[in-house]
């Protein structure tokens, strides 16, 4: 197999589904799911996913370039590596999803939406992760990096979203996120249906959803914007030194979630509102019938505002900055 992305977009399995190269073994497990194993022992297992949303193509292209270099012997492999292109039908269609948002279905939530094609895919991705982790030793380090791009522009162009976890985050993992050029980290305070929460909750993996820019179609991405993340990822899987740190990411935590529960939902933000725009205390953010969402803290920042989600889904998150300075933070008050 020469090109993971092109093989996946073709909708067919490769003629050969496994093979051994001078430095690794590869195994095509299913559509868009590839396992790479070094021929020398390792104590680190990395799962890297992209394309969970089919219109977020830049991370898919970046990851595919890296896998191509591994398969061609241009780069060594120092970890057990599982690569998952999340939603191949949506990637082929250039759509975020076909019926259901795949990144809300993990942790068994797919069982409530069995009529959606994404439900079966969520189950298959869960199964692939479980098999991958169980194949390693108990001493193995487990990381899961889920690569995305955002619908909207952002005051922080590259940022990470950390799933809720009762465990402290490994120092090496946090150092890698900084080396990958992330400008901010957002910490969830409640469980969710995301892929990274699933891997963290069920397999104690250090996991993060990386938002690496704005969603654009295949062929329209400026991959130079992802250079830091690509270099850090290449160094991680090859066992090479990380690129130097430029600055520590700013840290935010989720304070409230805005949920659209009915057709009467109104989000009081313009379509041009950037992620991490700040709002002052008391401002009305959204309303849904008798339910009203206000800014509760002295200053809160919006993340992922989207009034067009299906009823019952998240229409936005509100954040506060940890250890915030006096004066302006990421976005100006709107």
pLDDT in tens, 121-142: 999 999 999 999 999 888 899 9
- Is 56 annotated as contributing to ligand binding? yes
Per 3-state DSSP, what percentage of the chain is helix, strand, and coil (rounded to 5)? 25, 30, 45
Looking at domain 253-321, its CATH class is mainly beta
Q: Quick one: DSSP state of residue 333? A: B
Domain ranges (residues) in the chain = 4-238, 253-321
Active-site residue, 211 included: yes
Architecture of domain 4-238: 3-Layer(aba) Sandwich (3.40)
The one catalytic residue among 35, 118, 201, 211: 211
Between 114 and 273, the more confident residue is 273
pTM of the model: 0.92
Judging by DSSP bridges, how do beta strands 278-280 and 299-303 pair with one another? antiparallel
- Report the distance separating Cα 282 and Cα 284, nearest Å: 6
Read off the pLDDT of residues 66-78 as tens digits, 9 standing for 90 and up.
999 999 999 999 9
4-238 and 253-321 share one fold: no
SS3 172: helix
Judge whether 237 and 77 are in contact, CB under 8 Å.
yes
Task: Specify the pLDDT at position 329.
Answer: 42
- Is 53 annotated as contributing to ligand binding? yes
SS3 300: strand
pLDDT for 163 beyond 80 = yes
Judge whether 78 and 42 are in contact, CB under 8 Å.
yes
């Amino acid at each position: 197999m020469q090109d993971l992305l092109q093989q996946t977009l073709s909708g067919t399995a490769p003629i050969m589904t496994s093979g051994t190269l001078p430095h690794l073994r590869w195994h095509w497990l299913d559509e868009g799911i590839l396992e790479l194993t070094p021929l020398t022992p390792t104590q680190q297992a990395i799962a890297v996913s992209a394309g969970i949303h089919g219109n977020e193509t830049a991370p898919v292209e970046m990851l595919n370039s890296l896998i191509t270099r591994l398969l061609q012997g241009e780069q060594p492999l120092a970890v057990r590596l599982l690569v998952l292109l999340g939603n191949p039908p949506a990637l082929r269609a250039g759509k975020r999803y076909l019926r259901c948002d795949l990144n809300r279905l993990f942790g068994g939530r797919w069982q409530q939406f069995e009529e959606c094609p994404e439900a079966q895919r969520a189950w298959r991705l869960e199964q692939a992760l479980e098999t991958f982790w169980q194949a390693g030793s108990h001493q193995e380090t487990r990381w899961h990096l889920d690569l995305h791009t955002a619908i909207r522009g952002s005051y922080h162009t590259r940022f990470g979203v950390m799933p809720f976890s009762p465990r402290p985050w490994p120092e090496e993992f946090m150092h890698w996120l900084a080396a990958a050029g992330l400008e901010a980290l957002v910490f969830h305070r409640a469980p969710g249906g995301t892929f990274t929460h699933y891997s963290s909750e069920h397999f104690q993996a250090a996991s993060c959803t990386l938002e690496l820019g704005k969603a654009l179609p295949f062929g329209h991405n400026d991959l130079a914007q992802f250079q830091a993340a690509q270099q850090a990822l290449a160094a991680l899987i090859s066992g090479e030194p990380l690129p130097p740190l430029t600055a520590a990411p700013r840290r935010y935590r989720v304070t409230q979630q805005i949920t659209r529960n009915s057709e009467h939902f109104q989000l009081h933000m313009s379509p041009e509102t950037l992620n991490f725009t700040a709002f002052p205390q008391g401002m009305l953010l959204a309303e849904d019938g008798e339910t009203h969402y206000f800014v509760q803290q002295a200053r809160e920042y919006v993340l992922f505002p989207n009034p067009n989600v299906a009823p019952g889904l998240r229409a936005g998150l509100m954040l506060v900055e940890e250890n915030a300075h006096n004066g302006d933070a990421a976005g100006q008050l709107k």
